[in-house]
């Protein structure tokens, strides 16, 4: 019997059930159940995540379930996993990545560039806010929290002219038709780990780790590890306006990252490429380049 811990949201449950189905396919004689938990990140919706403890609020209750032996593993969006996991836990597998881009969603306009002056855009992500402000300082950014369906409902009620969401979540829930345009990852650098699912277990469960090893996608693991290395080098688990994106083509890894002030006025970028086997040193090069350009000073502005 394998028990999977998940957040209650429709998307989180889709992700957990996706992993459950993969396990059932691989081990047909194994019973798998998905258990849902309400997390603080889902409960507190009237404040920006940066002010209430960051994305780690989405996984604490799931980790308690692992510690209390109420569940064997937890499934997370890797973008919600803090850079430093508490000692008893580890990410034992990262499954194949879905589209990592951000999606422009609107009922009136086809793209971010088409928005009129002073249009209202919904997002509570410091990263998205700074990238939008950098390109379109005339736009008004309003807070947008809640699960995917809640956010879409708020758009449909007319509160916003457009909202920005992760493409992966919309694709997974068969809502790809809501995507008016995908934001170019070279200009609108995604969140670290966006589109990838991580499997968290207790470190001492070596047999379970071996059991779940088939879920790991090596290319996605390399990409996500590189992105997380940059984030950890720059800011640890602190919530700051930054993003990183790693891509692989013909075994060549290209990593790009940015750091910005929340208002998008100060923005620096760095990139490097090389063999996949050197992903951590390449990531370190990118992080050092950002630091050399003044990233630490900028991060002081948006420090959470």
Task: With CA atoms as reference, report the closest residue to 248 among 268, 278, 270.
Answer: 278
Tokens of 61: 């209750």
Beta strands in 190-251 (DSSP E): 197-202, 242-249
With 0-12 CB in 10 A as exposed, 13-18 as middle and 19+ as buried, what is 167? buried
Phi/psi zone of residue 250: left (φ > 0), alpha (ψ -120 to 50 degrees), beta? left
Which of 239, 283, 243, 236 has its CA nearest to residue 259?
Answer: 243
CA torsion sign for 99, 150, 243, 189 is: positive
DSSP 278: G
Check if the beta carbon of residue 162 is closer than 8 Å to that of residue 105.
yes
Contact 62, 181 (CB under 8 A): no
Q: Are strands 120-122 and 162-166 parallel, antiparallel or unpaired?
A: parallel
72 assigned to active site: no
Its sign, for the CA torsion 192, 193, 199, 205, is negative
- Catalytic position from the list 42, 72, 80, 272: 80
Q: Is residue 76 within 8 Å of residue 58, measured between CB atoms?
A: yes
Residue 92: which H helix or E strand, with range?
strand 89-94
Q: Three-state SS for 111?
A: coil
- Catalytic residue list: 80
């Amino acid at each position: 019997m394998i028990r999977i811990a998940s957040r209650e949201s429709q998307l989180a449950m889709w992700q957990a059930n996706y992993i459950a189905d993969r396990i059932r396919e691989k081990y047909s004689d194994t019973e798998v159940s998905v258990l849902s938990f309400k997390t603080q990140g889902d409960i507190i919706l009237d404040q920006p995540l940066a002010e209430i403890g960051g994305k780690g609020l989405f996984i604490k209750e799931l980790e308690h379930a692992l510690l209390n032996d109420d569940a064997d593993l937890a499934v997370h969006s890797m973008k919600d996993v803090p850079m430093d996991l508490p000692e008893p836990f580890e990410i034992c597998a990262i499954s194949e990545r879905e589209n990592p881009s951000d999606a422009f969603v609107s009922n009136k306009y086809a793209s971010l560039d088409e928005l009129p002056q002073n249009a209202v855009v919904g997002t509570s992500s410091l990263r998205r806010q700074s990238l939008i402000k950098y390109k379109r300082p005339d736009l008004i950014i309003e807070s947008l929290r809640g699960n995917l369906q809640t956010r879409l409902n708020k758009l449909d009620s007319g509160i916003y002219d457009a909202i920005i969401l992760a493409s992966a979540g919309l694709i997974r829930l068969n809502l790809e038709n809501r995507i008016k345009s995908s934001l170019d990852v070279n200009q609108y650098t995604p969140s670290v780990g966006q589109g990838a699912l991580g499997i968290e277990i207790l470190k001492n469960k070596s047999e379970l780790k071996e059991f779940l090893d088939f879920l790991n996608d090596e290319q996605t693991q390399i990409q996500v590890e590189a992105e997380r290395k940059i984030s950890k080098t720059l800011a640890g688990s602190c919530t700051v306006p930054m993003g990183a994106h790693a891509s692989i083509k013909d075994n060549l890894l290209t990593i790009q990252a940015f750091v910005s002030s929340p208002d998008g006025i100060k923005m620096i970028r760095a990139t490097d490429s090389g063999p996949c086997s050197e992903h951590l040193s390449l990531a370190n090069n990118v992080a050092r380049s950002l630091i050399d350009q003044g990233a630490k000073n900028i991060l002081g502005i948006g420090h959470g």
